[in-house]
């Protein structure tokens, strides 16, 4: 008889596909729609596909089934790939709005920040190191170093957008606010541990996956609107 699957693990694994499908949808829509978005944003959407895959493997092979390697590897790939997504978005925003001299030092600085975040996350996940929350919320949950770095990098992206808001049309700002609001809600959901189920069936980490998926689609819509006006 197969081992019983916990409700939270199954919910986390299945909703992980939402992230994957959101990335695939963004990639597909970008290819089908005219005008097509720049290569830098197509790269962003490709990284969403990759992190969607690692979201599934973390919860699928790390929580739902066993025998596919230690969980720390899947956890590293999951959060590490999310840091890459945030880095890719930051690089795209940098090229969209900032002058060449800022890009000249901004690109390596962002890449260094990505490398530090991934390295810190790898150290925190590595066997023999006792993982602990960098930002904790008592028994509710919290954020490990890699997750905290991801949040900081994401907040930097928001600041980068905000500083250049004068370049956005009045019909584009509400979409940007929507994207930020969606991911803010997702961040609140992500504060809970992976196994947190609020009575009777609100699996909070699984809901975070769904919220993030819709956030990525909203990001695509925001970009499509603003790049369409340039043609």
Say if residue 230's pLDDT is above 70: no
Q: In CATH, what number is assigned to the domain containing residue 66?
A: 1.20.1070.10
Q: Is residue 214 part of a domain?
A: yes
Mean pLDDT check: name the lowest of 180-184, 189-193, 227-231. 227-231
Q: What is the pLDDT of residues 91-126, one digit of tens each?
A: 999 999 999 999 999 999 999 999 999 999 999 988
What whole-number distance in Å separates Cα of residue 70 and Cα of residue 77?
A: 12
Q: How many domains are there within the chain?
A: 1
Confidence of residue 175 (pLDDT cuts 50, 70, 90): very high
Query: How confident is the model at residue 3, as a pLDDT?
Result: 62
Say if residue 2's pLDDT is above 60: no
Non-local (6+) Cβ contacts of 231 within 8 A are: 35
Query: How confident is the model at residue 94, as a pLDDT?
Result: 98
pLDDT mean over 120-139: 90
What whole-number distance in Å separates Cα of residue 67 and Cα of residue 97?
A: 47
Query: How confident is the model at residue 62, as a pLDDT?
Result: 83
Task: Give 183 or 66, the one with higher predicted confidence.
Answer: 183
Say if residue 221's pLDDT is above 80: yes
Confidence of residue 14 (pLDDT cuts 50, 70, 90): very high
Task: Check: CB of residue 30 under 8 Å from CB of residue 37.
Answer: yes
What whole-number distance in Å separates Cα of residue 62 and Cα of residue 66?
A: 7
Q: Is residue 188 part of a domain?
A: yes
Mean pLDDT check: name the lowest of 38-52, 119-133, 198-212. 119-133
Q: Is residue 2 part of a domain?
A: no
Q: What are the structure tokens assigned to 100, written together?
A: 């060449």
Confidence of residue 66 (pLDDT cuts 50, 70, 90): confident
What whole-number distance in Å separates Cα of residue 172 and Cα of residue 224?
A: 10
Q: What are the structure tokens assigned to 231, written together?
A: 């043609």
Say if residue 212's pLDDT is above 90: yes
Kindly report the pTM of this predicted structure: 0.94
Domain range for residue 58?
7-228
pLDDT mean over 2-10: 78
Query: How confident is the model at residue 1, as a pLDDT?
Result: 40
């Amino acid at each position: 008889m197969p081992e019983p699957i916990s409700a939270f693990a199954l919910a986390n694994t299945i909703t992980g596909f939402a992230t994957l499908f959101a990335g695939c949808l963004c990639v597909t829509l970008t290819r089908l729609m005219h005008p097509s978005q720049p290569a830098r944003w197509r790269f962003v959407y490709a990284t969403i596909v990759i992190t969607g895959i690692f979201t599934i493997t973390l919860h699928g092979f790390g929580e739902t089934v066993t025998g596919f390697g230690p969980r720390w590897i899947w956890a590293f790939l999951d959060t590490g790939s999310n840091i890459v997504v945030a880095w890719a978005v930051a690089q795209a925003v940098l090229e969209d709005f900032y002058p060449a001299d800022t890009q000249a030092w901004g690109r390596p600085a962002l890449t260094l920040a990505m490398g530090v975040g991934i390295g810190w996350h790898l150290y925190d996940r590595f066997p023999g190191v006792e993982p602990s929350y960098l930002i904790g919320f008592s028994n509710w949950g919290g954020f490990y170093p890699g997750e905290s770095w991801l949040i900081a990098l994401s907040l930097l992206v928001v600041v980068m957008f905000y500083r250049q808001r004068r370049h956005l049309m009045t019909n584009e700002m509400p979409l940007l606010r929507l994207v930020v609001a969606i991911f803010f809600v997702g961040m609140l959901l992500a504060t809970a541990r992976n196994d947190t189920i609020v009575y009777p069936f609100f699996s909070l980490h699984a809901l975070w996956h769904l919220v993030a998926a819709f956030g990525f689609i909203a990001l695509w819509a925001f970009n499509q609107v603003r790049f369409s006006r340039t043609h």
